[in-house]
Amino acid sequence: MVVPELRAWRAARPHVVRIKRTVQPHVTRVAQAVQPRVTRAAQSVRPHVVRAAQAVRPRPVKVTTPRLTAVAATAGLAFAAGAVAFAGPWDSSGQRTAERDWAASREGEGGADHGRSSDTSPTAPKPAPSAASVLTGLGGSTVSVPAPTQKALTSTLDRLLGDPALGGRRTAVVVDVATGKRLYGKGADDAQTPASTTKIATAVAALSAAGADHRIETRAVLEPGTKEVVLVGGGDPTLTARKEAAGWASLRTLADETATALKARHLNQVTLSYDTSLYTGPALHPIGSNPNLAPVSALMVDEARTDDSASGPVTRAADPAADAAVKFAGLLEAKGIKTTTPGPSRATNRSQSLASVSSPPLSALIERMLTNSDNDIAEAMARQVALATGRAADFDGGAAAIDAELKKLGLPLSGAHFTDGSGLNRNDRLTADLLTALLVKAGDPAHPELRPILTGLPVAGFTGTLSDRYADDASGTGLVRAKTGTLTGVNTLAGTVVDADGRLLAFAFLASDTTDPSAAQSALDRTASALAGCGCR
């Protein structure tokens, strides 16, 4: 009789797999650490245990070192599980510890960002495979392992990319990040709809044009000679009204400081307005009203979400700026400042600053955008590129600014066409060649400002849009880092992977005319995992 797998177990299995992978390296290290002591203890107590056993039963009990080691390992399992729970999912360097330990258990050596430092414990796991150690090759030093050969990669990838689930059109490129050499190409220069892998291009342009340390300011100002307070949007989609700001700019802090400044001026009743003039053009994306993207505004709170979510599709406020201003009014009134119903206005250059809050640096916004495939941040980043380069902060201006910034970086733009920053527009066109070139540029030591692109990519089986993928594919888990892309009939994946020899590869796979998104995603995941398990020479 075949017993069907319980639905609850099917749902829990990916989490159980990840927990096992997290705990296993700790168990191994604990067992290895205690084994010498266990051996000595076993040798010391064996005669006493044998005599005691003979006294209570006719047949002697043979106590062996392996048995005691097994007991110690069991105790170590409990200890390691507690240690993992205590330490949490992040270590001091900002790396996900589950990812680090799983990769370390696969005997990978890795880079400076996630490697050892002077305060690293000697018993800590070896660094996870990561970009930094391989990227030193870009500075001219010789890498220690050979790259995969074109012939071997072709044999491996042609078969996987031939999967019918990938539709009628598929293109692919694999590049050795250390040298920039293309190792595999299939329709490399054929432009296709990239879906959300467009965000990689948006991220490169934003970090290049505005800078990784740039912060977006939201202000409250007072018009002189009046009682008009204007809430001025600076284009920060991560501004939050939640009690726990979690490091993002807080509307509550802005309201508290504004109320304090108004009371110092003996004002407890004001006219409240809001200014969104930083952005121009239509607020609605060409796809229209959509739960994946709020109307694009220079002023919004929590991405105009109507629930407590922080990512994913959800109903949005129809007018994000008015929604933010109403919430700001409520916060002011809670501090004893009465306001009128907020309305649109424009702050003058004579206005007096009352208070301001700033977003985290652009690097943090880029990481959040890539990890969660956040469309609201992506469209805000496109407008930041436009503002930094003197263009109109609208859809057309942002698209033109991205194209111009990438051209300035010397990237291969033949066939590329940008219409937005998020990739929601089906008229966007990118090539696999451009996507891998963007990733190689992000790893170039000459462009450290682009590093957040590599660190922000979702990690297979652990984070963001890849957190629920790769559960049944151990070879890619924790080693594939990639931006996903999904539209009806379009499935894409572009990122980096450390192969079996420790070589860092950049890849881009684009598939069009797909009919089963789940099957197409699985086919792309298998292809990326093949690179993780491939020496391919």
DSSP string, 338-353: EEPPPEE----TTPEE
pLDDT at 473: 67
pLDDT at 173: 98
Q: 167 and 514 in contact (C-beta within 8 Å)?
A: yes
Nearest to residue 430, comparing CAs of 413, 455, 410? 413
| Pairwise CA distance, residues 504 & 506, whole Å | 7
416: which strand partners?
none
| Pairwise CA distance, residues 160 & 157, whole Å | 5
pLDDT at 77: 38
| Pairwise CA distance, residues 462 & 456, whole Å | 12
Q: 483 and 517 in contact (C-beta within 8 Å)?
A: no
Return the exposure string of 303-326: e unless at least 16 CB atoms fall within 10 Å of the residue's CB, then b. bbbeeeebbeebebbebbbbbbbb
Residues 6+ apart with CB under 8 A from 441: 204, 409, 411, 447, 450
Residues 6+ apart with CB under 8 A from 330: none
pLDDT at 43: 52
pLDDT at 143: 53
Would the pTM count as exceeding 0.85?
no
338: which strand partners?
269
Residues labelled catalytic: 196, 199, 373
Return the exposure string of 81-108: e unless at least 16 CB atoms fall within 10 Å of the residue's CB, then b. eeebeeeeeeeeeebbbbbbbbbbbbeb
487: which strand partners?
490
Longest dimension (CA), the chain: 102
| Pairwise CA distance, residues 67 & 69, whole Å | 5
pLDDT at 337: 98
353: which strand partners?
221
Phi then psi for 361, rounded to 5 degrees?
Answer: -60, 155
Sequential pLDDT tens for the chain (537 residues):
433 444 444 444 444 444 444 444 444 444 444 454 444 454 554 554 444 444 444 444 444 444 434 444 344 434 333 433 333 333 333 333 444 444 444 333 333 233 333 333 444 334 344 333 334 334 333 356 788 888 989 999 999 999 999 999 999 999 999 999 999 999 999 999 999 999 999 999 999 999 999 999 999 999 999 999 999 999 999 999 999 999 999 999 999 999 999 999 999 999 999 999 999 999 999 999 999 999 999 999 999 999 999 999 999 999 999 999 999 999 999 999 999 999 999 999 999 999 999 999 999 999 999 999 999 999 999 999 999 999 999 999 999 999 999 999 999 999 999 999 999 999 999 999 999 999 999 999 999 999 999 999 999 999 999 999 987 766 789 899 999 999 999 999 999 999 888 899 999 999 999 999 999 999 999 999 999 988 777
| SS3 of the chain: helix, strand, coil, percent, to 5 | 45, 15, 40
| Pairwise CA distance, residues 127 & 121, whole Å | 12
The single-letter DSSP state of residue 230 is E
* Three-state DSSP class for residue 411: coil
CA distances from residue 254 to 251, 277, 337, 357, 359 in whole angstroms, order as listed:
5, 20, 13, 6, 12
